[in-house]
Amino acid sequence: MNKDTVINISAFDIEPGSEGDFFSWYDEIHIPMLLKFPGLRRASRAEKREENDQYPRFLTIFEFEDEEAFAAYLTSPELRGAHRDATVRSSEKRDRVGRWRVQYRVKKTWTKEP
């Protein structure tokens, strides 16, 4: 069993003017649904600092305990429920454009001493 932390990065854009409504749902419903999965340590949402159409405007970074947790997440009821909810939302509102998703194994982490 591999104990390397796994990060899953999802990159996406939002239709202009839809950010408030989208992130109300994303932050208050979608992400909390996913965080119910026990092997998911944390989720962080980031926004690009500078305007550049070459890259997606938003990223969400999910951190999983290890490979085993990430593999279990892929077939979890938490992920299935969140996907169902997102599918219903996207059929009603087409405000999110997914660009790409990728996973990495964390091989080393440095921490700054206080």
Q: How far apart are CA 48 and CA 60, in angstroms?
A: 11
Structural domain containing residue 73: 6-105
Tell me the per-residue pLDDT of 24-57, one tens digit each, with 9 for 90 and over.
999 999 999 999 999 999 999 999 999 888 999 9
Structural domain includes residue 114? no
The answer to whether 99 and 53 have CB atoms below 8 angstroms apart is: no
Structural domain includes residue 100? yes
Structural domain includes residue 17? yes
Structural domain includes residue 1? no
Closest CA to 60 of 44, 47, 72: 44
- Bridge partners (DSSP) listed for residue 12: 58, 98
pTM reported for the whole predicted model? 0.88
Tell me the per-residue pLDDT of 55-68, one tens digit each, with 9 for 90 and over.
999 999 999 999 99
For 94-113, b/e burial (b = at least 16 CB within 10 A) is ebbeeeeeeeeeeeeeeeee
Type of residue found at 42: R
Give me the number of domains the chain comprises.
Answer: 1
Structural domain includes residue 110? no
